[in-house]
Structures are given as structure tokens and as C-alpha cells.
Amino acid sequence: MVLKRLFALFFRPDETKSASTSGKSNRSSWTLLPEGQRATSERGPSEETDERRPATTPSADNYVRLCPHETLSFKRAQRILSLYGQGDIHPTMDAFTSAPQLHHSELSGGEFGRRKHPRLCKQDPSGYDVLQATSDYGFEKGLILNIRWQLSFKAHPELLKSVECLQQFLDSCDISLCPHKNLSDEEIAFKTFYSLKPPTDPIEKFEIASMKIKGCDQCGTDFWVSGRDDKKCRVETFRYLGTIETVDDKQWLAQCSD
């Protein structure tokens, strides 16, 4: 069964693959469940050209969404990037701030790298305390935003009855990993589920462990999914924001939300 699902994920007909990459929707065509209402509008391919264009119009008002509760402005990104000329700040600076007090708090007694008490973004839909994230910035020919979503299902094993059940829950959380992919996208939900509930067949188990999540071909974001035996899984994103010298920086605009 798992082998068939893996085959369906990676060896679809050409027309299906084309349809999944040509649009500008913030929902992936991998989704198993019927699509619901979304606050953000979908973009279709340009009628004038096949060239990929930024999803936003160049403006200092464009922003990058960090989480459901907070965004990163162009001016703030420039300030952060300027700090790298004054010394190494990685990984001491949180991307999350304390502004959304209901959802953001410091991890008491916790530590990440050289940073003590990292700030957490907590997502608690339907009374479940399952999702939380930490964040920081990196630098490599520009600013890199690194966000790690940790999912813990030890107290809620019912969410792991099936891939579809897990995906339905993740869909209710409405977490955008980049402007074009969500935490509930089928490829990510599939890898998350079988990382936490590995198949018994040794071949299938190896295939799941070696399965790599394809990076976003629209904005260049990289994804990493890893699971543990204690029903915890981490979905990590590396978003390349560019040099942020001007508002029309292509890398910056590709990461901006509509």
C-alpha cells in the first residue's frame, strides 16, 4: 500500500505534474481533501508569458509571513541583514517577536544553540496543543529565515489514524511553510505520517526514511521532515530572502505573501 502511494506521489502523468506547478495557488495540488475557503486569492498562469513572475508588486509594503500571527516587513529585514556586518548573530536572534502575546512565548528552561529561552509560536486549534515552532535567521549570500515546526502527537494518537486524518488536522491549522506550500500539503503530510508510524516492511521503511521533500520551485524554499519514536516530528523550512537591497529584489518578492 505504501509503495503504491509513493509511486503515485513521484510518478504521476506529465499533465498532472504540469498542472501542479503552473499555477500560483497557495494550496498544493497534492491535497487529498476537498479544498475549502481560503483568505488568499489564487493566481493563474500569465496569459502573456510563461515566465515565472513574483506573486507581488514591488513595494516597501510587501511582507513575508513568518507564522499565522506575525509578518516580516522589508525595512525590518534590512535592519536584520545589516547586523551581520557587526558580528555573528546566528543563531541568537529569534525571527518571532513577543507582539502576538497570545501565541508567542519564551520556552522556559529551554535552549537552542547558543540562545537560551527561545521564543515559541504556539498553534492550538480545536483545543489541541500539538504544534509549536522556533525560528532564527542565517546568512549565506543574503538573509535566510529558518523556521522549525514541531508536531507532538503523544497525547493525541487519534490524529494518526491515517494520512487523511492527519492531513485534515494540519489543514485546520492553516500553516504556510512558504507562499506556495502548506503544512497540510499531501507530500509533507505523507512523509510526516510515515515518519511517526513507519511501515513494518523493511523495504518500505527504508523508502520512507530516504524520501526527500522537493523544494519549492517558485520561491526556492527547502523543506526537511524528520520523525522520532516518541510521536514527535519536525518540519523545518529554509527560506532564502535575498540581499534585500531594493524592494524589487526577486528573491524577496518570491517569498512575499499576496
| Amino acid identity, position 145 | L
Instruction: Give the residue-averaged pLDDT of 210-231.
Output: 88
Q: What are the phi and psi torsion angles at 61 (to 5°)?
A: -85, -10
Q: CA-CA distance, 117 to 119, in Å (whole number)?
A: 6
- What residue ranges in the chain does DSSP mark as E strands? 63-67, 70-73, 104-106, 111-112, 115-116, 119-123, 131-139, 143-152, 176-178, 181-182, 222-227, 232-242
Predicted confidence (pLDDT) at residue 120 exceeds the cutoff of 90: no
Alpha carbon distance 191, 208 (integer Å): 7
Among the listed residues 151, 216, 150, the one whose alpha carbon sits nearest the alpha carbon of residue 180:
216
What is the pLDDT, as a whole number, of residue 114?
Answer: 47
For residue 209, what are the contacts with CB-CB under 8 A and spacing of at least 6? 198
Angle, alpha carbons 54-56-62 (nearest 5°): 125
Helix, strand, or coil (residue 116): strand
Give the least confident one: 76-90, 131-145, 216-230: 76-90
Q: What is the pLDDT of residues 189-216, one digit of tens each?
A: 999 998 888 888 999 888 888 888 999 9
pLDDT at residue 116, rounded to an integer = 60
Q: Where does the pLDDT of residue 143 fall: very low under 50, low under 70, confident under 90, or very high at 90 and above?
A: very high
Position 36 scores a pLDDT of 35
Cell of 233: 516530528
- Among 2-6, 109-113, 195-199, name the one with the lowest average pLDDT: 109-113
Percent of the chain with pLDDT over 70: 67
Residue 254's pLDDT band, with cuts at 50, 70 and 90, is very high
| Whether the Cβ atoms of residue 68 and residue 123 lie closer than 8 Å to each other | yes
The answer to whether residue 136 scores a pLDDT higher than 60 is yes
Q: List phi, psi (to 5°) of 123.
A: -120, 125
Mean pLDDT, the chain, whole residue set: 76
Task: Please give the backbone phi and psi of residue 227, each rounded to the nearest 5 degrees, phi first.
Answer: -120, 160
Q: 3-class SS at 25?
A: coil
Q: What are 66-87's pLDDT values in tens digits? A: 999 899 999 999 999 888 766 5
**Is the CB of residue 209 less than 8 Å from the CB of residue 220?**
no
Residue 227 forms beta bridges with which residues? 233
Residue 177 vs residues 149, 205, 245, 254, 257: alpha-carbon distances, Å: 9, 26, 24, 13, 11
